[in-house]
A and B are shown apart, each in its own frame.
Chain A
C-alpha cells in the first residue's frame, strides 16, 4: 500500500491534467462539436476520422507529408552538420575548444519562443530583417521570406537547425570523448586517411550512444509546433504561407476554424503515430 500512498497525489494530478484531457479528446473526436454546436453537439461516429484520413482536401494528409519531409530533412542536416562540427572540435591540438563550445551553445540556452520571435523580427522581417538588409545591400529587392510555402519551409528549417544544432553538437562531443584514442593510432600506422578513420572508427563507435539522442530529437522535430506557428501563422499576422505540419493543423482546427471534432480526431491519429513509432524505435534500440 505504501508506494501507492506515496504516489497518490501525483496520480490525481496526472489523472486530471493529462489523462482525462486525452480521453476527453478521444470523446470529442467522435462528435460533431464545433462553434455552432458548443453545447448541443451530437454523436458523429468515425466521420471525423474519415474526413481527416479519407478526403484529400481536408488538408491533413498533405500536412502529414509536410511533417515527414520536415522531420527527415531536418534530422539529416542536424546529424550531419553537428557530427562534422563536433569531430572538428575534437581535432588534436584544438586549444580554444571550450570557448567555441560555449559560444555555440547560446542558441540552445535562449528561450525558444524568444529565439523564434527574434528571428522573425531580426532576420526575416522585411523592414528590420538582417537578411533583407543584406539583399538590398547586394542590389536585390526586399523579399518576404515567409509569404510563400517553399521559402517559408526553408526559413523554418534554418531556424530549427539553428536552435537544435547546439544540443546535438554537445551530445556528439560528449560521446566522442569515450571513443578509444588508440584505435586511431593503429589506424594511422596502417595508413588510414581521414575518411576511413571517420567511416570505420568514429561513426561505428558513436552509433550506440547517439541512437537514443537522435531518436529523441526526431520526436521533438516531428512534434515541432512553435517555429511554424510563431513565424507564419500568429493570430492577426498570418504571413501568407499555407505550410502546415500536423500539429499546427490540429491547433488551427481547434482554435482558429473551431472544428473541434476534426481537430480531436487528428490529435488521436497523431498520438497513434507517435505510439507506433516509439514502440518500433524501442524495439530497434533494444535489439541493437
Chain B
C-alpha cells in the first residue's frame, strides 16, 4: 500500500509540474489574446493589472475595417497559391524522375540540390534584389512567387522523393503493360498513390509563404501589395499608428488559420520530417 501512495504523490507532483510548464509556455499567447480584447490603447499601459478593464471586439473590427487587412489577406492567398502551384508543378515531376529513373548525374544532381539548399536565402537576398531590379520584377507578386517557389522547389523534391521511393514500382509496370503512356501513368497512377505526400508538402509550402516576412517586406514597397506578414510587421514598426491592442488582434487573426492547419497536419508533419527526405 505504501508504495502505491508514494507513486500517486509522485504522479500528482509530475502533473502539477506539467501544468505549470504548459501555462508558462502559453503565457505570451494568452496575454496577447487578452490584449486584443482590451479597449483603448491606453487601458493597459498605466496599471500593473493584467486583465483589461473592459472586453471589446473593437480592435478586431478596426483591423478588419480600418486597416487594409483584407487586402493583405488577399495578397497572402495569391502568393501562397501561386507559389504552391509553381513549386509543386516543378518538384513533383523532378522527384518522380529522381525516384524512378537511374540516370547519369542523378546522384550529383541530388547532392548539388542539397548543397544549394544549405545556402541561407537571406544571404543571396541582395543579389536577387539586384537581379530583380534589372528584370523589373520588384514590387510584383510574380517576382516574389518565383523567389518562394525556387527555394520551396528543392524542399519539395527531397520531401516527395522519399515518398515516391516507398511506392512499389510493380504497380507502374503493371499499368505500363496495360498500355498506359508516361503522362497517363503520372496523372492516373502516381499522383493518386502519392496523394498524402503531395498534400503534406503542399501544406508546408503554404505555411512557409504565409509566414515569410523578410522577402515580403524587402521586395514589396507599396502598402497595397503587402502580405499579412508585411502588414503585421508595418503595424508594429510604424511609430505613428502604433497600437498594441490593434496589433494583438491582427496577430491573432493571422495565427488562427495557421494553428488550425498545423494541428490538422501535425501527425503527418512529424512522420514526414523523420521518415521523409529532409534527413540527409
Taking the closest CB of chain B, its distance from the CB of A42, in whole angstroms, is: 16
Q: How far is the CB of B198 from chain A (nearest CB, A)?
A: 15
Cβ–Cβ contact B274 & A13, under 8 A: no
Over the window 114-153 of chain B, the binary record of Cβ atoms lying under 8 Å from chain A Cβ atoms (1 yes, 0 no) is 0110111111111110110000000000000011011101
A235 to B234, CA, bound (A): 11
Q: How far is the CB of A74 from chain B (nearest CB, A)?
A: 17
Complex Cα distance, B85 from A81, in Å, reads 40
User: Are B258's CB and A110's CB within 8 A?
Assistant: yes
Given A117-B251, A235-B237, do A264 and B127 touch, yes or no (CB 8 Å)? yes
CB B10 to nearest CB in A, in angstroms, measures 8
Residue-wise interface mask of B (4-33) relative to A, using a CB-CB cutoff of 8 A (1 in contact, 0 not): 000100010011011001100111110110
Q: Check if B153 sits within 8 Å of A109, measured CB to CB.
A: no
A174 touching B274, Cβ below 8 Å: yes
Kindly list chain A residues whose C-beta atoms are within 8 Å of the C-beta of B149.
Answer: 13, 17
B163 at the A interface (CB under 8 A): no
Given contacts A117-B236, A128-B44, A264-B126, contact A10 B93 (CB under 8 A): yes
Most chain B beta-carbon neighbours within 10 Å: one of A137, A247, A255: A255
B157 interface hit (Cβ, 8 Å): yes
With A2-B97, A17-B146 as given contacts, are A251 and B127 in contact (CB-CB < 8 Å)?
Answer: no
- Given known pairs A117-B233, A226-B214, the reply for A25 and B120 (CB within 8 Å) is no
Q: Using A16-B150, A247-B123 as known contacts, say yes or no to A128 and B118 having CB atoms under 8 A apart.
A: no
Are B146 and A16 in contact, CB atoms less than 8 angstroms apart?
yes
Q: Does chain B have a CB within 8 A of A68? A: no
Chain A residues with Cβ below 8 Å from B226 are none
Q: Could you tell me the dominant secondary structure of chain A's interface residues?
A: helix
The residues in A between 95 and 150 inclusive whose CB is less than 8 angstroms from any CB of B are 96, 100, 102-115, 117-123, 125, 127-128, 130, 133, 136-137
Q: Count of A-B contacts with CB under 8 A?
A: 231
Please determine whether A237 and B123 come into contact, CB atoms closer than 8 angstroms: no
Known interface pairs A10-B94, A17-B151. Does A282 touch B280 (Cβ–Cβ under 8 Å)? Answer: yes
Closest residue of A by beta carbon distance from B279: A212
Any A CB within 8 A of the CB of B268: no
- Name B259's closest neighbour in chain A (CB-CB): A109
Residue of chain A at shortest CB distance from B31? A122
B interface, over-half SS: helix
Is there contact, CB below 8 Å, between A17 and B25?
Answer: no
A14-B150, A88-B17, A109-B262 are known contacts. Are A254 and B125 too (CB-CB below 8 A)? Answer: yes
Which one, A59-67, A179-187, A195-203, A270-278, is touching chain B? A270-278
B254 and A85 form a contact (CB under 8 A): no
The smallest beta-carbon distance between A111 and chain B, in angstroms, is: 4
Assess whether A94 is interfacial by the CB under 8 Å rule: yes
- Contact pattern, B 233-261, Cβ under 8 Å of A = 1, otherwise 0: 10011010000100110010011001100
B218 at the interface (CB under 8 A from A): yes
Rounded to whole Å, the gap between the CB of A270 and the closest CB of chain B is 6
Q: Which 8 A-B pairs have the closest CB atoms?
A: A17-B150, A21-B124, A267-B123, A7-B94, A3-B97, A21-B127, A109-B262, A10-B90
16 residue pairs A–B, Cβ–Cβ below 8 Å:
A7-B97, A10-B93, A21-B124, A22-B127, A24-B124, A103-B26, A104-B22, A109-B259, A111-B254, A113-B232, A117-B247, A125-B244, A136-B48, A260-B126, A274-B118, A275-B115
